[in-house]
Structure 1
Amino acid sequence: MNGETTKPATHAERLTRTLVTGANGFTGNWLTGNLLASGHAVTETVAGQGTPETPSRRWLDITSPEECRRVIDEVRPDYIVHLAAISFVAHNDPLDFYRVNVLGTLNLLQACADVGHTPRKVLVASSANVYGNVTSEAIDESFPVAPVNHYAASKASMESLVRTWFDRLPLLIVRPFNYTGRGQTANFLVPKIVEHFARREPEISLGNIDVARDFSDVRYVVRAYEALLDSGAVGETVNVCTGQPYTLREILAIASEITGHELEIRVNPAFVRQTDVKMLAGSPAKLRKLVPEVEAIGFRDTLQWMLAA
């Protein structure tokens, strides 16, 4: 051995390095907490420059190829979970959907190639909105994509680009259906409903209350993402859903039953979008096959949890 000693690996070097883009968003906050609890060394990337960078937090404008290369080269993560996106369907600048959701994703993948780094897996979050208006009550991954708004079209375009990288990087596309939980902003429907019941407001203004969605609990969604990272699945697309749709009318009734409070419902025509998807319910069969240990959380339990916050 000639008296030489091997430098022991530091704690951070032994941990799995995981890069989470969009880490300060609703999903990112919950996922980061889960990953840290599981022993990952998480590097969060966030847009904007409000506070200094730290070893565990980097500023990243994913529309900048240079910034993507810098962060990938500095972190060299074992896993990447790509959540950064414009996700509010009614966002007022259509071009932002494509700059961020499509080109931003491409920049991230290209950065891996440019700096010569191949992670163990890159999990890319798409959306079930890519399916559009489908009459089936159990949409599986074989259904064609038929987006009906800019958000969905940008996600469908992103998926097409990601698939061209399947032979270069170990990629997995997830298509979450609607999900909610504590910390989601009130411009999303379920938090808006919960907030009105929690404050015992006399009335609420909504759009079409008969649209049906397959609502999941955010805690279930991030558990599924973490389990999929550890699974052998690559080069695939996977729905993340429960298979159980609820209309807004039904959600209002459950919240009323939990709280004992009645709300007068006012339908505001301004909130009724012509491109609204009327029914969106998925088949979780593939997800259950890949990660059978991840169990869904009943939606009534989710509402109770949110109302108790």
Structure 2
Amino acid sequence: MKRVLITGLQGFTGHYMARELEQHGYEVWGLGDVPSDNPRSVVANLLDLPSLKEAVAKAQPNYVVHLAGIAFVGHGQPKAFYDVNLVGSRNLLEALAPVAAGLACVLLASSANVYGNLQEGLLSEAKPVEPANDYAVSKLAMEYMAKLWIPKIPVVIARPFNYTGVGQSDSFLIPKIVSHFVRKQSTIELGNMDVWREFNDVRDVVHAYRTLLEAKPVGQIINVCSSNLVSLRGALQMASELTGQTIEARVNPEFVRANEVLKLGGDNSLLKQYVSEWAPRGLHETLAWMLHSAALKS
């Protein structure tokens, strides 16, 4: 059986995850707190355990991809990170326990934010975790909580590094840059232009998630990353070359972290043991896709 339940199906990553799975023969069900016309959609709130149990019982999944959560680090209500990312995830696992016999794999999306901002270079899963904000703490707490369920439920934890794509909110860095170029803005406010980070493609991330579901490395925590670093200055230059436009970048001190690590990315050695032919797209290709899509809509 290849029935998969995706939480957060209507979110940015959820759409791409559904498409990836459907293209590989899965029957995709979605779980969310808003009614949908999709007959394979079940309605439940992650903080309402009875409705969650009812929804899971209806879906009877063989696989689960848990994407639902609050992902924007600058979200204004810190308590919400813990309510949704930690308590909501625990409720989901409790709701899955009665159908555990039919589960092949449950993938929980954590975050590379758990490593913090103080370690330099390409970070492996063996590096110490040093979360630096409520979002990161809530994700790390979710990881520890999930380990309590591994004897009963086949859980795999993914730690994605930065990724982007068409449909991501402009509150994130790359969509903000794309938006400014499409609207032909003359200036943009950014942080430190000389930091190097990963900016991976959402299509590659969901490919990795699907492959991990199929590999079933239960109990593992696995970085989802490319190890390809690009500077913020370089990202802006790529967008300029693709559009033929020039935007003046102004450094806003509010966007600059104290003692910021200049080069930070993920070591994908463990991921490549499970994801065959891992050849992630470069940022240039992703930017071209995003700029083209945004221009068509403008």
Note the C-alpha offset of 1:117. Answer: 5.0
Task: Give 1:179's match in structure 2, choosing from 152, 157, 163.
Answer: 163
| Secondary structure of the corresponding residue to residue 123 of structure 1 | strand
CA contact 1:69–1:115 (8 Å) conserved in 2: no
Task: Give 2:15's match in structure 1, choosing from 20, 29, 36.
Answer: 29
Task: Give 2:189's match in structure 1, choosing from 205, 209, 212.
Answer: 205
List alignment gaps of at least 5 residues for structure 1. 1-14
- Cα distance in 1 between the residues matched to 2:219 and 2:205: 20
List alignment gaps of at least 5 residues for structure 2. 294-298
**Match runs of 1:1-309 below 5 Å:** 16-49=2-35, 51=36, 54-114=38-98, 117-272=101-256, 279-309=263-293
- 2:296 paired residue number: none
Q: Please, what is the CA RMSD of the aligned residues?
A: 1.8
Note the C-alpha offset of 1:257. Answer: 1.6
| Secondary structure of the corresponding residue to residue 308 of structure 1 | helix
Length-normalised TM-score, structure 1:
0.90
- 1:11 paired residue number: none
- Cα distance in 1 between the residues matched to 2:257 and 2:34: 31
Note the C-alpha offset of 1:163. Answer: 1.1
Indicate how the Cα distance of structure 1 residues 40 and 277 shifts in structure 2: closer, same or farther if over 3 A, else same: farther
Note the C-alpha offset of 1:168. Answer: 1.4
| Secondary structure of the corresponding residue to residue 301 of structure 1 | helix
- Cα distance in 2 between the residues matched to 1:276 and 1:97: 24
Note the C-alpha offset of 1:108. Answer: 0.6
- Cα distance in 1 between the residues matched to 2:261 and 2:140: 15
CA contact 1:159–1:173 (8 Å) conserved in 2: yes
Note the C-alpha offset of 1:269. Answer: 3.0
| Secondary structure of the corresponding residue to residue 262 of structure 1 | coil
Which one has the largest radius of gyration? 1
Note the C-alpha offset of 1:81. Answer: 0.3
Letter in 2 for 1:26: F
Q: Deviations over 1:171-223 (max 9, x none)?
A: 10000000001111111110010111122211112233333321110010001
Q: Deviations over 1:151-179 (max 9, x none)?
A: 00000000000111121111100000000
Letter in 2 for 1:62: L
Note the C-alpha offset of 1:277. Answer: 6.5
Indicate how the Cα distance of structure 1 residues 198 and 161 shifts in structure 2: closer, same or farther if over 3 A, else same: same
More deviation, 73-82/279-288: 279-288
